[in-house]
Structure 1
Amino acid sequence: MSLPVLTQRLRHWWQPRKGLAIAEASIIGIVAALSAVFLKVGSGWLGAWRVHNSHVYPAWLALPVIGLIFGYLAGWLVQRLAPEASGSGIPQVKATLANVPMKLSWRVASVKLLSAMIVIGSGITLGRQGPTVQVGASLAAGMSRLVPTSPDHRRQMIAAGAGAGLAAAFNAPLAGVIFIIEELLQDLSGLTLGTAIIASFIGGVVSRLLGGGSLQLNLELMQFSSQFSLPEIPFFLVLGILAGLLGALFNHGIVFSIKFYRRLHISLPLKVALAGLVSGIIVCILPEYFRNNTGLREYIITGESSTSVAAIAFIAQFILTLIAFGSGAPGGLFAPSLILGSCLGHLVGVWESHLLGAGSLPTYALAGMGGFFSAVSKVPITAIVIVFEMTTDFNLVLPLMIVAVVAYLVADKVMPGSLYDKLLQMKGITLTKVVSDESILTTLTAEDVMQQQVETLDADMTLEEAKQAFSSSHHRGFPVVEDSKLVGIVTQSDLMKTPHRNLPNYTPLREIMTHAPITVAHTHNLSNVLYLLDRYQISRLPVIDGRKLIGIITRADIIRAEAGHLNGENVTPAPQAEPSYVVYQTRSPSIGRGRLLVPIANPETAATLLQMAAAIARDRHYEIECVQIMLVSRHSSPDETEVRTAKSRRLLRQAEVLAKKWQIPLHTQIRVAHDAAQAILETISERHIDLILMGWKGNTSTPGRIFGNIVDTIIHQATCDVVLVKLGNSQDLIVNPTLQFNRWLVPMAGGPNARFAIKLLPALVTTLGNDPEIHLIQVFKPSELKPDMKILEQAINQLMRRRQLSSTVVATPVQADSVSQGVINFVKTQGFDVVVLGATREGLLQQAIQGNIPEAIASGVESTVILVRGAINK
């Protein structure tokens, strides 16, 4: 048998099948159980060692030091080896199952297992059940990479691993299955349910056989018989309400704690070390039995503790858990929730016994466990099943159901939504429900898949300018807007009809456009969109919100969404960018009349850009602000991500040398950000920038963009003056950064930005050139026998009023059918070094903001192209 045939047969054998899925689920269940037992034994051994040392050495010294050292070690392991292993791990698993690209692997499982063991053993008040969920899911994800499986099959195995991890941690197989259905996957398909049941059952059984029981309450509480009577129902209702309110407060505290640690701007190891230190200090102040969390929990449940002990335990556990979880320490909330619930239930049970004298404290403690767990995790069915499986007491089911359901309803009213979803949203991840193939057309809306960047034409644009827009674009039609409101649509067929109507070239576009075009609301589903496309035999539809144009949708967008779903890609909004974070900055005396911002990214062109910036700054008496943007993943916070700034600082030092030579005040900063454009806009706002000068590659391949992702955003949103520079002859600039620019071309068509371009010229030409020449041109149609030269004459007069300008100025009319082609041909025949374009709303560059003429000129010439746009008044 040849090797290719053998390989093909192996691949065929490994294809996802029901039998293979069952075998894989069984292996996952065994491995998840072994990891859960290892975590229990390891953290228990470390915890016992910690308690022992607190007796050998002074507790006020031993507990804080152990918490500090172990916390730092655990945080260091997570930060260096697997950042995805921070926190409880359940949000990461949930995001992965929703097809968000978040890593789950054997390395994540190993780091999570080891770091969680260290954290829990150090006395930091977190549980091991959440980590076992991520460990099980990560092991399953690593195993699924060994075989060529489909995305759906991989998701099912990851879900099975998560359920097996929970089942092994609690010895509760049913709870593992219910948790998958209720919180993680929300999928009841046969294969998913079958693999989850198998993996959870095996995980729970193996864990029990190896002594990995979580609470062993069925043995501890055999001497206590749960009691329940009708008069106690109001007390269980009160317990549910209290659990719901305090559970919602607990979740708010978790969010606040995370935000508080973020404001500290320290690394993860230092955060976890700080949590360990503070936890150790608090625990050493409390009574001795607070040093063993498991013993404390069972002490409360059995009813042996006093009311004061239960109250102190609740307050201490509440505060310690918030301190621990907000740091990002690898640990979960399940065990702390159970302890808090048992304390709360004990207090209500004591109150009931004083009034009626008929209650059972263990019953209230166990019902409180389920209620608080339900309020925090928003999984009432899982909470009921977990406590029932741990106790196997049928008398407990009814009070447990009352408390868990009431707590869930109250908590969801006070703080709607899942805590895990909120934790993901704090990282910029918003989950949407994964839909089936049958429902994708009815579930997804036009807003979910539309193109947000739309090229439009203005209703006041002339017929001639519309023809130029079509000639430089591949689109066969444009939406027509007025004050961002959609008022019509113009197509190539509309333009073809104009010769028969004998319309002059200055006819406004509103007279030839199609009024009241077919549109689709942003809330319409894809089924409605397809119906309209087929009904009217059109290829694209404007998407509106009221009358405002917010996007455009095509058949290709719908096909792309369906293909992405089939490939296991969830159509979810991109993670939201967090504000950028300044990690390095220098400041000079603020003695200028304004500030000029220079974003530096490319070392090869930085010197030329800085030379231009210095020329403008010197002419206007501006200070220069140089910024370097370091991008990080949107799944990590900019103010928490460790970065190395040595290379960026070397680049900024070039600017410092040039500023010192020119005696210009220079400020520098390095920002860590999710989005470069947003970081630049934040810098403009924070530093009160008057002008921004930045590089521009001259073209873009990004769909829906004119100049490129970053430059498009700056052109549209920056309120200051904007100068974009596309450096030509890049190889010459690399060899000789001080290359001279002697021949300057400025196409004119009037408008404020053309005048702004003229104002910049004297400083640039005298600094960058040696005996420079300035050529002003205006493009006219060949049919215009006597061109109007007023605009060129005004520009010459404006230049001549500048005293420091000693350059030769020449004005030339140019005849061409196309504005962009006329400029390109003139540059090629005359050989200019620089072309300066003013981005105006009239004449030559009507489409600078929403069209392609500047891009066409920049792409068509090898010279340096400078595009200017005056400040936007907002």
Structure 2
Amino acid sequence: MKKLLANWRQSSWLASSSLDTRYALIEACLIGLFSALAAVLLKQGIGWLGGYRIKAIELGGARIVLPLAGLIFGTLAGGIIELLSPSAAGGGIPQVKAALAKYPIILNLRVALVKTVATILIIGAGFTLGRRGPTVHIGAALGAQVSRWIPNSPTNRRQMIAAGAAAGLAAGFNTPIAGVLFVVEELMRDISGLTLETAIAASFTGAVVSRILGSTDLNVPLAVIDSARRGSFAIPEIPFYVVLGILAGILGGVFNRSIIRGVKFSRSLALAIPLRIGLAGLISGTIVAWLPPFFQDNAGLRELLIAGQFTWQTTALVFVAQFCLTILAYSAGAPGGLFAPALVLGSALGYLVGIAEVAIIHSESPYTFAFAGMAAFFTAVVRVPVTAIVIIFEMTADFNLVLPLMITSAVAYIVAESFSQGSLYEHLLEASGIEITEEHPQNDFMSELTADDVMESRVETLPSDLTLPKLIQAMSRSHHRGFPVVEDGKLVGIITQSDIPKDSKQNSEVLLQDIMTPQPISVCPDTSLADVLYLLNRYQLSRLPVTEGSKLLGIITRSDIIKAEANQLNCDLQRTTISQPSYVVYQTRSPATGKGRLLLPLGNPDNLASLLEIAGAIAKYHQYEVEFLRVTCIANHIYPAQAEVEIAPIRQLMESLENWGKKSAIPVHTQIRVATDVGEAILEAINKEHIDLLLMGWKGKNSGIEAIFSNVVDYLIKEAPCNLMLVKLGKSPHAFPQQLHLRHKWLIPTTGGDRINKLLTILPALSQLDAIPPKIQLCQVYLPEQAHLSQADFKHAANVLQEQLQCSITPLRISSYSVSKTIINLTKNKKYGLVLLGASNKGLLQNVIEGNIPQAIATESPTTVIIFRSFD
């Protein structure tokens, strides 16, 4: 019976696997269809716009039309990319390669549409780039989108992206075999059954649909093909093919290096993408306008070269011009490929060598050298010799070319690798911070992500002295089944439901510390997700605490890992894909001996002394470490890691703050970040350094019509995963903390209840700023029709303050229809030193929008106002 069950399970699994494969093949065919339609649309669009460009040249002259077309259409294409889909910039193959290596690169329908429109504008405007690289990118994006629409298995998503790339290349060149080989040789480097099957299905479908719709690629006169076929491979020609391979390898290596340097130089310019591409179009159009007329229609340039329509001088001019113009266009980030330019350059180089061969040994025709040069230069640029050979062979169907193609491609590959190792696309990815090596060709997100990236920082904890009945009560109120046990903020154990004894009702004197698991297994914040998963499996755990030393930072569960994996599979990138991450250019660390951390961003130097005094008081009371952060903001188009900023004056300030920490016996950390977005940089520091309290100054006025407090403050109020303290220093002479003898007169508006308990997070620390205990006016403003309501909450709040602060508490209840006006009048008439307002995480901005008190009081009150937003 057991054997029958085992056989049944195995057959069921095989049937399911076979079904998934069939669905994958059907999905691949659908991807091939969409990719072919996109390739045909792309070609027709380029031809349509290019035709109008040629007609405009006939009417207005090349020297006016071409520069203007390059500038206008280049800027328009760049603007579309920047506004709608920045991932659509460039040739596209580096993005596909990174996505297949499991880097979180966006590939979806929007990328495909934007890439199509932008490529039509760029190539139709006369840029010397090709459409086949973009068709690979578009096909991969369509493959990713279809895999979301019709998911047969989450593990097959990479194969669907690769299938789309293969279909795009097959439809662009009408070369189905080359499409499959390019995926295997360059993109995936994987020959597993499913990869080959889906790539073949998509590539075949893409090529067939493309041919049915009449999209041919290589329009070489039949006389040229026949002449090449009539020739035979001769031994005396071998040295010339070797020389052609050597020249292609050297010049291809120079071409690649020039592209890389051009890309880095372009990114270093203080220009947005639309301006960079538009400027490149202007320069390119101006140059082409002064070249011979056949340059104005670059669609047929390769065919003219192969057909031998030019002299060797003109052919050399074509090579030099195409070489430089392609580098200019691609370096600017224009959406176009290098396949077609590489073939044009290769055909020109091959024709030049062929002319020399005819002159020396008097052979019949140089046409074979033109074809061989195409394969050789393509190999030197892309480093895919097998794909290069098959592309030329599929386009010509000439067996006489096989040996010349093999010789030149092999020599070109060896020479190019000796001159400049690695594929151009790999170097482009490295310039963007993505490294794909032979030993580790695929990015394993389980090794890249850390516990800090996916842990839950808002942890429900329990004290070790909790009695068993209260423990059971706490567990019944929560949906969690396990809790870290802490003492003074330090992890001492962990408790789960299985640890509770069965006769728990009879053990009312048992404490949590008696039944918890002491010294539990924990991980550091930088522990990789792969190691976290190993520990969970190795010890059969459901959760792991994340600690820094003995301080609890968060907890990570199996569900957190599943969410991270789902986000990676779906490329779930939100705000981080829009702005670049910040880059730390300076940092100092003190021993992490505190029980928490306070972050003080450095902005207005006039407020620093007062904020330091407040930060010091809170840090000493709660035994916090203080993190000082300075953010240097740069333009959006500059990479933070490559920005050159002057930090010498800021370093001096940081050194003085370190001395302040030593004198105050407070652990101080400092860092300087370069970023395109100040709010994002502060939020990144909060998450990275596990901040408990964010202390910020505010000028008392917003920075724009749409801002409530200010753009940065509003963003942090909504997003910061910690308590937040916003300080607006007063301008009047009695304002806290200008004169010590008036500091102790405070006003705290409240409705009672939980607000006072939250304010107690900072009130005891602030009350110790002065040797004189503060005199606190606890104020409640109520509507006249609510006079009959109970005052129990308000009286309870006063009693809580009296017990915790042991200072003078004076209750004050005022009947009014306007809370904000009442509080503002009080601050002006009674000359308080400080007004302290409490707000919840979700309610602060909404209260301001609805006309409630925080922003109005902070703006119009002459005294110092502190708004404390608790993280709940």
Secondary structure at the counterpart of residue 226 of structure 2:
coil
2:263 corresponds in structure 1 to: 258
For residues 236 and 177 of structure 2, the distance between their equivalents in structure 1, rounded to whole angstroms, comes to 31
2:728 corresponds in structure 1 to: 737
Question: Judging changes above 3 Å, is the alpha-carbon distance between structure 1 residues 772 and 227 closer, same or farther for their aligned structure 2 residues?
Answer: farther
Secondary structure at the counterpart of residue 171 of structure 2:
helix
Q: Does 1:179 align with 2:151?
A: no
Q: Does 1:211 align with 2:228?
A: no
Q: Deviations over 1:580-621 (max 9, x none)?
A: 799xxxxxxxxxxxxxx9535xxxxx99955725999xxxxx
For residues 30 and 137 of structure 2, the distance between their equivalents in structure 1, rounded to whole angstroms, comes to 16
Matched letter for residue 193 of structure 2: G
Q: Does 1:410 align with 2:401?
A: no
Further displaced range: 23-32 or 270-279: 23-32
1:473 corresponds in structure 2 to: 490
1:513 corresponds in structure 2 to: none
Secondary structure at the counterpart of residue 166 of structure 1:
helix
Give, in angstroms, the shift of residue 687 of structure 1. Answer: 4.4
1:41 corresponds in structure 2 to: 44
Does structure 1 conserve the Cα–Cα contact (< 8 Å) formed by 2:62 and 2:289? Answer: yes
1:72 corresponds in structure 2 to: 75
Matched letter for residue 223 of structure 1: D
Match of 1:710 among 675, 681, 685: 685
For residues 561 and 614 of structure 1, the distance between their equivalents in structure 2, rounded to whole angstroms, comes to 40
Secondary structure at the counterpart of residue 103 of structure 1:
coil
Secondary structure at the counterpart of residue 222 of structure 1:
helix
1:690 corresponds in structure 2 to: 653
Match of 2:302 among 291, 297, 301: 297
For residues 353 and 609 of structure 1, the distance between their equivalents in structure 2, rounded to whole angstroms, comes to 82
Q: Does 1:311 align with 2:316?
A: yes
2:108 corresponds in structure 1 to: 105
1:386 corresponds in structure 2 to: 391
Secondary structure at the counterpart of residue 474 of structure 1:
strand
Secondary structure at the counterpart of residue 130 of structure 1:
helix
Does structure 1 conserve the Cα–Cα contact (< 8 Å) formed by 2:736 and 2:742? Answer: no
Give, in angstroms, the shift of residue 67 of structure 1. Answer: 1.5
Q: Deviations over 1:706-742 (max 9, x none)?
A: x9962697999xxxxxx98589xx99998983489x9
Does structure 1 conserve the Cα–Cα contact (< 8 Å) formed by 2:450 and 2:529? Answer: no
For residues 247 and 41 of structure 2, the distance between their equivalents in structure 1, rounded to whole angstroms, comes to 36
For residues 364 and 30 of structure 1, the distance between their equivalents in structure 2, rounded to whole angstroms, comes to 35
Match of 1:612 among 579, 590, 610: 610
1:399 corresponds in structure 2 to: 404
Match of 2:145 among 142, 145, 165: 142
Question: Judging changes above 3 Å, is the alpha-carbon distance between structure 1 residues 376 and 220 closer, same or farther for their aligned structure 2 residues?
Answer: farther
Question: Judging changes above 3 Å, is the alpha-carbon distance between structure 1 residues 107 and 768 closer, same or farther for their aligned structure 2 residues?
Answer: farther
Give, in angstroms, the shift of residue 59 of structure 1. Answer: 1.7
Further displaced range: 314-323 or 85-94: 85-94
Give, in angstroms, the shift of residue 562 of structure 1. Answer: 10
For residues 527 and 227 of structure 2, the distance between their equivalents in structure 1, rounded to whole angstroms, comes to 57
Matched letter for residue 92 of structure 1: Q
For residues 280 and 366 of structure 2, the distance between their equivalents in structure 1, rounded to whole angstroms, comes to 33
Stretches of structure 2 lacking an aligned partner (at least 5 in a row):
1-14, 455-485, 495-522, 550-554, 586-599, 615-627, 662-666, 669-681, 698-716, 746-768, 774-800, 809-832, 835-865
Q: Does 1:81 align with 2:89?
A: no
Q: Deviations over 1:345-382 (max 9, x none)?
A: 11222222232223631111111111111111121111
2:127 corresponds in structure 1 to: 124
Does structure 1 conserve the Cα–Cα contact (< 8 Å) formed by 2:451 and 2:529? Answer: no
Q: Deviations over 1:143-174 (max 9, x none)?
A: 22223443322222221111111101101000
Question: Judging changes above 3 Å, is the alpha-carbon distance between structure 1 residues 767 and 58 closer, same or farther for their aligned structure 2 residues?
Answer: farther
1:770 corresponds in structure 2 to: 742
Question: Judging changes above 3 Å, is the alpha-carbon distance between structure 1 residues 724 and 132 closer, same or farther for their aligned structure 2 residues?
Answer: closer
Question: Judging changes above 3 Å, is the alpha-carbon distance between structure 1 residues 227 and 525 closer, same or farther for their aligned structure 2 residues?
Answer: farther
Q: Does 1:17 align with 2:20?
A: yes
Match of 2:34 among 31, 35, 58: 31
Q: Deviations over 1:196-227 (max 9, x none)?
A: 11111121122122221221348463232254
Question: Judging changes above 3 Å, is the alpha-carbon distance between structure 1 residues 769 and 452 closer, same or farther for their aligned structure 2 residues?
Answer: farther
Give, in angstroms, the shift of residue 13 of structure 1. Answer: 12
Matched letter for residue 396 of structure 2: T
For residues 29 and 74 of structure 2, the distance between their equivalents in structure 1, rounded to whole angstroms, comes to 35
Does structure 2 conserve the Cα–Cα contact (< 8 Å) formed by 1:765 and 1:772? Answer: no
Question: Judging changes above 3 Å, is the alpha-carbon distance between structure 1 residues 370 and 578 closer, same or farther for their aligned structure 2 residues?
Answer: farther
1:373 corresponds in structure 2 to: 378
2:60 corresponds in structure 1 to: 57
2:355 corresponds in structure 1 to: 350
Question: Judging changes above 3 Å, is the alpha-carbon distance between structure 1 residues 396 and 557 closer, same or farther for their aligned structure 2 residues?
Answer: farther
Q: Deviations over 1:9-67 (max 9, x none)?
A: xxx99997233222222222222112212211221222222223222222211211122
Does structure 2 conserve the Cα–Cα contact (< 8 Å) formed by 1:449 and 1:558? Answer: no
For residues 298 and 735 of structure 1, the distance between their equivalents in structure 2, rounded to whole angstroms, comes to 69
For residues 269 and 530 of structure 2, the distance between their equivalents in structure 1, rounded to whole angstroms, comes to 45
For residues 221 and 237 of structure 1, the distance between their equivalents in structure 2, rounded to whole angstroms, comes to 23
Secondary structure at the counterpart of residue 261 of structure 2:
helix
Percentage identity across aligned positions? 41
Secondary structure at the counterpart of residue 265 of structure 1:
coil
For residues 715 and 71 of structure 1, the distance between their equivalents in structure 2, rounded to whole angstroms, comes to 45
The number of residues matched between the two structures is 616
Matched letter for residue 424 of structure 1: L
Matched letter for residue 164 of structure 1: A
2:825 corresponds in structure 1 to: none
